[in-house]
């Protein structure tokens, strides 16, 4: 009898999670109910599963709304009915038109209108819904004549009075109005709750025909869904046989390409994998991925195949990945096996500049009716909750900022804030809006609107209205088409090297970069800034602690840096064992046999599964549940708890010490959602090597490519510094040498106009295109003639030094610009400047200091180019110890002068601490540690140079300075200002990179007490 139920997937309207909606229906004795969320089917598949478990007949539908008004409710008679509604809603989502007042003529859908908006004439499939409170109106002859077309309509939107208030808050959030400004038309009626079925039916006792109509409608709705049928495009060719034949042929060609002739081990692995792929009917998925890669290669694009797909030798032979699974002993079963309950997907990266081209190809090649992005539910988060809820209660922005930025215990105590907190906390984990999955693509055998309506976000690619978990549940294996700037760094470097040096680097041939001798020396020193994944301070410190100088150690480092390994204490233990291979014992013989390569430490997802299977004796199915939990894809806490219980039971049966089993499971649990599979780490390591090779042998071009791809972990200034340290001469943007992006000519690097603050990007691109069309600018006046730019924009270019080629200083150019442009109307510009000879102005000799130029650059670029930041300091002192000598000062106190590059905030039980990264006057990097107590007295005061006093600590080849005192050092007064209060404000624009970690403090080493030796019985 409940034909209009809303879950919290009716965004900013419904308040009931799906699980709770079903459980309440059971409590009320409901035997059939319809989920009709507003303009979506996001929850229907979870709803169907939940109802089947609860013994309720599920009806699926949509409540169609437009402009905050309900038009009608649609209920699917069957799968065709759902498809009809999906296509109808999709057409309006794409066109942007408002849904019509009357429903179209559906063939397999029942339509229910409310009493207020029912048309005079109803089709056979159309009904009027009568709410309980409307039954008293049925005495009129006009309405009595329509009883044969009436059904029970008891909407469900909330559960309690408090949830009704929450519903009103959600409506105010959605409408962006104060709660007090809502009208009755903006929110649901107070009666929209579940009530016992008997109680509901008693209201309609005088009109049994309405109950009968409702029952008949319910009986005619028989939507069923088989969750076991694959929904992806089945075949790349025409059938399964031709698919496996083509895949086999391609694999054999790739085998010869990758391994040459007479490779018995590789051939055996290929044969084994092909058998499993065919058995699981996964050939089409491999071939579609191969087809995408083939197109990418035809366009000259670079890609990186990573994730568990790199465990496959077939993927390696097809060129999908560049990781040899034999070299690293990667087992295919981690990617695809008979016991795996969920099918895998390939993760493939392209440059952020080229990804859209790949997407266009996929949508065009496989049909726009069959391809869409996965959706995702963006939930209400802590900050957004307090901002949104606080706003509807009328709090000013200043108070909203305080609520959003501070923990609840620091919130001001008053009645309004209490309301905001109470209702805000109710919204945690509630969906707030639908969005596009960052990379997941679905390619469907049937039209994708058979399963969902589609929306068209601004990006221009359609999305389904459910997330990746639902997609997987209903039989879709997604294709992860990702983008990253790291590939852009590599790809653009190769192009710049050929253009600037005439050298072609085949960086796709990983044999030239992987384990390359000089690159390995850079790696061991942590000289990796700019390189994919290995440039952060934490990663550079880890590389130095490990003295990492080979591929396999880098693969391990790529994984142990992950939070799961660090949190469990296994990262520190791995570092110890790597540096002291004779000073530990394996926990158990299984650890020696299975994890000998990583000193008995669980580093990869596979390691956890190996230990669970070989030590714990768990079945393969439980190993798959663990895998999903570790990759952050598991949704069933109950299943994970059962695995835990099974683990301890099995360990006890196998005679393992309880203390050891508990420690091992503690380590396993720490991995959940935070670890890499080995193949993923290997893929990252290969890409890291590719970028490192380019940094080693072509550092200037590489850094320019990093700058043009808008950096990585650090701000642009850091990469400019790296280029300068590599021998580049850095020039300010120049109208004759610079493009929108940064250019390199030999060792001369001209910064791009994209870095000039306040300069319009369209104008910057116009300068570039005009120069390409008409040649270099021969004078300042020539530039003014050719570029339609106002005086203020011209001044920006003057101040940044873009006209240095003219030989005139900035003051002279400013006078000239004013004389030419001050009283010039745009319509007379060409007449005055093009048709009249340029006047020669006699200009005074106006001197400028290098400090003036540097402060101009700080204002417009956020860093100086004409000199270093150290040249701007009032003090000439440069420190007693330089960074290159820190290793010899272990446990000694040092005084240093350094420029702040970045700092990372880390939570501890004693409060917030920071790790700092700096450069000294010689341009060398070093790192500092700032404990909470010390920060209270000596806090960071923004970007700039600091005088540091601290004690050097050397931890496995890596020196850090534990700070005792620090003070920010003043710059010289800015000579461009006469007023003393303005002479130091430009210094405040010097930037720093600040990152934070939102997590609970990690346990201390003594709290973990990770065993280093065998545990006794």
Taking CA atoms, 328 is separated from 347, 434, 510, 512, 658, in Å, by 19, 40, 15, 18, 33
Q: What is the DSSP letter of 229?
A: S
Burial class of residue 255 (count of CB atoms within 10 Å of its CB; 0-12, 13-18, 19+): buried
Burial class of residue 353 (count of CB atoms within 10 Å of its CB; 0-12, 13-18, 19+): middle
Largest CA distance in the chain: 103
Judged against a pLDDT cut of 70, whether residue 701 lies above it is answered with yes
DSSP character string of 468-508: HHHHHHTT---EEEEEEHHHHHHHHHHHHHHHHH-----TT
The mean per-residue pLDDT over the stretch 305-310 comes to: 88
Backbone angles phi, psi at 441, to 5 degrees: -110, 135
pLDDT at 835: 43
Question: Is the model's pTM score more than 0.75?
Answer: yes
Residue 547 binned pLDDT confidence (cut-offs 50, 70, 90): very high
- DSSP H helix total and E strand total for the chain: 38, 23
Strand order in the sheet with 371-379: 303-306, 347-351, 479-484, 431-443, 371-379, 463-464, 454-455
Residue 343 or residue 485, greater confidence: 485
Residue 421 binned pLDDT confidence (cut-offs 50, 70, 90): confident
Span 387-398, pLDDT tens digits: 899 999 998 888
Judged against a pLDDT cut of 60, whether residue 353 lies above it is answered with yes
Judged against a pLDDT cut of 50, whether residue 740 lies above it is answered with yes
DSSP character string of 931-957: -HHHHHHS---SSSEEEEEEEEEEETT
pLDDT at 609: 83
Span 754-763, pLDDT tens digits: 999 989 999 9
Q: How many CB atoms lie within 10 A of CB 933?
A: 11
Spatial contact of 60 and 76, defined as CB atoms under 8 Å apart: yes
Q: Is 746 helix (H, G, I), strand (E, B) or coil?
A: coil
pLDDT at 831: 45
Judged against a pLDDT cut of 50, whether residue 363 lies above it is answered with yes
DSSP character string of 656-700: --HHHHHHHHHHHHHTTT----HHHHHHHHHHHHHHHHHHHHSHH
What is the bridge-based pairing of β-strands 126-130 and 109-114? parallel
Mean pLDDT, the chain, integer: 91
The mean per-residue pLDDT over the stretch 572-588 comes to: 93
Of 267, 242, 358, nearest to 317 by C-alpha is 267
**260: CB partners within 8 A, 6+ apart:** none
Of 43, 122, 106, nearest to 114 by C-alpha is 122
Length of the chain, please?
1017
pLDDT at 633: 61
Taking CA atoms, 583 is separated from 471, 493, 544, 577, 594, in Å, by 49, 44, 20, 7, 19
The mean per-residue pLDDT over the stretch 677-699 comes to: 95
What span, in angstroms and rounded, lies between the C-alpha atoms of 467 and 898? Answer: 48
Q: Is 833 helix (H, G, I), strand (E, B) or coil?
A: helix
**17: CB partners within 8 A, 6+ apart:** 7, 8, 430
Spatial contact of 307 and 247, defined as CB atoms under 8 Å apart: no
The mean per-residue pLDDT over the stretch 91-110 comes to: 96
What percentage of the chain has pLDDT greater than the value 90? 72
Helices marked H in 149-308: 161-175, 197-203, 208-220, 240-259, 264-279, 283-298
Of 281, 461, 482, nearest to 373 by C-alpha is 461
Spatial contact of 658 and 652, defined as CB atoms under 8 Å apart: yes
What is the bridge-based pairing of β-strands 150-152 and 126-130? parallel
Q: Is 112 helix (H, G, I), strand (E, B) or coil?
A: strand
Of 710, 812, 808, 830, nearest to 761 by C-alpha is 710
What percentage of the chain has pLDDT greater than the value 70? 95
599, 601, 607, 610: CA torsion to nearest 10: 80
Span 244-287, pLDDT tens digits: 999 999 999 999 999 998 889 999 999 999 999 999 899 999 99
The mean per-residue pLDDT over the stretch 599-615 comes to: 88
The mean per-residue pLDDT over the stretch 984-994 comes to: 92
Q: Is 238 helix (H, G, I), strand (E, B) or coil?
A: coil
Residue 846 binned pLDDT confidence (cut-offs 50, 70, 90): low
Rg over alpha carbons for the chain, rounded to the nearest Å, is 33
Span 43-96, pLDDT tens digits: 999 999 999 999 999 999 999 999 889 999 999 999 999 999 999 999 999 999
Q: Is 838 helix (H, G, I), strand (E, B) or coil?
A: coil
Spatial contact of 164 and 158, defined as CB atoms under 8 Å apart: yes
Q: What is the DSSP letter of 156?
A: B
What is the bridge-based pairing of β-strands 463-464 and 729-731? unpaired
Residue 295 or residue 845, greater confidence: 295
Say how far residue 615 (Cα) sits from the centre of its chain: 35
Span 709-732, pLDDT tens digits: 988 899 999 999 999 999 999 999
In sequence order, the β-bridge partners of residue 963 are 950
Span 848-882, pLDDT tens digits: 788 999 999 999 999 999 999 999 999 999 999 99
Q: What is the DSSP letter of 637?
A: H
Residue 832 binned pLDDT confidence (cut-offs 50, 70, 90): very low
The mean per-residue pLDDT over the stretch 574-592 comes to: 93
pLDDT at 340: 65
The angle at the Cα of 479, spanning 475 to 485, to the nearest 5 degrees, equals 150
Q: Is 857 helix (H, G, I), strand (E, B) or coil?
A: helix
């Amino acid at each position: 009898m409940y034909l209009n139920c809303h879950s919290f997937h009716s965004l900013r309207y419904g308040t009931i999670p799906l699980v709770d909606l079903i459980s309440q229906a059971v409590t009320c004795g409901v035997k059939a109910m319809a989920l009709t969320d507003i303009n979506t089917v996001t929850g229907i598949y979870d709803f169907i599963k939940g109802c089947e478990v609860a013994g309720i007949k599920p009806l699926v539908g949509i409540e169609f709304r437009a402009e905050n008004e309900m038009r009608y409710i649609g209920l699917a008679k069957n799968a065709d009915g759902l498809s009809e509604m999906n296509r109808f809603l999709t057409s309006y989502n794409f066109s942007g038109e408002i849904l019509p007042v009357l429903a179209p003529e559906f063939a397999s859908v029942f339509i229910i209108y409310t009493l207020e908006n029912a048309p005079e004439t109803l089709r056979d499939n159309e009904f009027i819904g009568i709410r309980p409170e409307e039954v008293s109106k049925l005495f009129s002859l006009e309405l009595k004549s329509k009883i044969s077309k009436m059904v029970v309509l008891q909407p469900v939107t909330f559960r309690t009075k408090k949830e009704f208030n929450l519903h009103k808050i959600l409506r105010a959030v959605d409408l962006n109005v104060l709660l007090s400004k809502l009208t009755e038309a903006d929110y649901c009626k107070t009666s929209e709750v579940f009530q016992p079925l008997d109680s509901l039916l008693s209201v309609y006792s005088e009109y049994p025909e309405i109950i009968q109509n409702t029952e008949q409608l319910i009986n005619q709705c028989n939507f069923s869904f088989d969750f076991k049928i694959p929904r992806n495009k089945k075949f790349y060719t025409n059938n399964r046989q031709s698919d496996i034949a083509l895949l086999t042929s391609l694999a054999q060609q790739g085998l010869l390409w990758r391994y040459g002739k007479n490779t018995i081990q590789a051939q055996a692995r290929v044969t084994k994998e092909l058998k499993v792929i065919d058995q699981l009917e996964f050939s089409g998925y491999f071939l579609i991925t191969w087809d995408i890669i083939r197109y990418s290669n035809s366009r000259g694009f670079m890609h990186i195949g990573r994730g568990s797909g790199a465990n496959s030798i077939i993927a390696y032979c097809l060129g999908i990945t560049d990781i040899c699974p034999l070299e690293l002993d990667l087992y295919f079963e981690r990617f695809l096996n008979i016991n795996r309950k969920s099918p895998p997907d390939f993760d493939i990266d392209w440059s952020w500049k080229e990804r859209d081209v790949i997407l266009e190809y996929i949508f065009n090649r496989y049909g726009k009716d069959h391809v869409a992005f996965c959706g995702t539910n963006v939930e209400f988060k802590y900050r957004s909750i307090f901002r949104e809820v606080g706003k509807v209660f009328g709090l000013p922005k200043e108070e909203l900022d305080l609520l959003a930025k501070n923990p609840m215990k620091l919130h001001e105590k008053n009645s309004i804030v209490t309301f905001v907190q109470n209702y805000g906390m109710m919204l945690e984990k509630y969906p707030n809006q639908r969005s596009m999955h960052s990379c997941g693509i679905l390619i469907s055998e049937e039209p994708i609107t058979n399963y969902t309506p589609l929306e068209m976000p601004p990006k221009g690619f359609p999305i389904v209205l459910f997330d990746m978990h639902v997609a997987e549940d209903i039989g879709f294996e997604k294709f992860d088409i990702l983008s990253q700037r790291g590939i852009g760094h590599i790809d653009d470097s190769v192009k710049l090297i050929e253009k600037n040096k005439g050298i072609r680097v085949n960086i796709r041939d990983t044999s030239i970069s992987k384990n390359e001798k000089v690159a390995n020396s850079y790696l061991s020193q942590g000289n990796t800034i700019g390189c994919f994944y290995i440039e952060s301070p934490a990663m550079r410190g880890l590389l130095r602690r490990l003295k990492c100088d080979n591929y396999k150690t880098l693969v391990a480092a790529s994984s142990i840096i992950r939070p799961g390994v660090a949190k469990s204490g296994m990262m520190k233990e791995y570092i110890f064992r790597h540096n002291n291979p004779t000073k530990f014992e394996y926990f158990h013989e299984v650890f020696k046999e299975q994890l000998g390569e990583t000193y008995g430490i669980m580093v990869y997802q596979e390691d956890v599964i190996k230990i669970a299977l070989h030590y714990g004796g768990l079945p393969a199915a439980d190993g798959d549940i663990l895998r999903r939990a570790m990759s952050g894809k598991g949704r069933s806490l109950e299943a994970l708890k059962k695995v835990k219980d099974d683990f301890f039971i099995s360990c006890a049966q196998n005679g393992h010490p309880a203390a050891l089993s508990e420690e091992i499971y503690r380590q396993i649990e720490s991995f959940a959602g935070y670890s890499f599979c080995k193949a993923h780490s290997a893929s990252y390591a290969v890409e890291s090597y590719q970028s490192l090779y380019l940094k080693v042998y072509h550092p200037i071009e590489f850094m320019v490519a990093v700058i043009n791809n808008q950096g990585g972990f650090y701000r642009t200034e850091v990469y400019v510094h790296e280029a300068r340290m590599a021998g580049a001469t850095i020039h300010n943007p120049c109208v004759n040498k610079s493009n929108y992006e940064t250019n390199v000519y030999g060792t001369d690097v001209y910064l791009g106009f994209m870095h000039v603050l306040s300069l319009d990007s369209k104008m910057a691109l116009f300068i570039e295109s005009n120069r390409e069309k008409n040649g270099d600018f021969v004078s300042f006046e020539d530039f003014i003639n050719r570029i339609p730019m106002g005086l203020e924009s011209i001044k920006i270019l003057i101040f940044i030094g873009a006209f240095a080629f003219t030989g005139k200083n900035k003051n002279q150019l400013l006078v000239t610009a004013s004389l030419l442009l001050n009283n010039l109307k745009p319509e007379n510009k060409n007449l005055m400047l093009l048709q009249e000879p340029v006047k020669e102005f006699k200009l005074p000799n106006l001197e400028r200091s290098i400090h003036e130029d540097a402060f101009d650059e700080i204002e417009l670029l956020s860093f100086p180019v004409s000199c270093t930041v150290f040249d701007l300091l009032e003090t000439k002192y440069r420190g007693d110890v330089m960074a290159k000598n820190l290793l010899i000062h272990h446990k000694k106190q040092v005084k240093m002068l350094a420029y702040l590059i970045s700092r990372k905030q880390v939570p501890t039980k004693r409060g917030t601490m920071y790790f700092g990264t700096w450069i000294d006057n010689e341009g060398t990097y070093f790192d500092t540690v700032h404990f909470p107590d010390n920060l209270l007295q000596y806090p960071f005061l923004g970007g700039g140079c600091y005088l540091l006093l601290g004690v050097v600590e050397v931890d496995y080849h890596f020196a850090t300075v534990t700070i005792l005192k620090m003070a920010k050092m003043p710059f010289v007064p800015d000579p461009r200002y006469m007023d003393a209060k303005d002479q130091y404000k430009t210094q405040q624009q010097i930037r720093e990179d600040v990152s934070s970690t939102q997590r609970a403090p990690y346990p201390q080493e003594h709290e973990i007490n990770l065993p280093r030796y065998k545990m006794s019985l």
